[in-house]
Amino acid sequence: MEANKAGDDPAVVAKAIVAAATDPKPKLRYTAGPVAGRARILGFLPAWAVDSRIR
């Protein structure tokens, strides 16, 4: 799969998972990598709307 070859390093995702698991006040979403960071621009939309588009 070409998308997997161009994906972010798994360590970036692992850091986001650790942050989510250890945060005393967890957020609804944690971004991992530059593409996900750019998607944060959609933060003004409700979570259900963003999630439905990603799926």
Residue 22 has pLDDT above 60, yes or no: yes
Mean pLDDT for the stretch of residues 15-29: 91
Mean pLDDT for the stretch of residues 27-55: 70
Both tokens assigned to 23: 């945060």
The torsion of the CA quartet 51, 42, 3, 22, rounded to 10 degrees, works out to -70
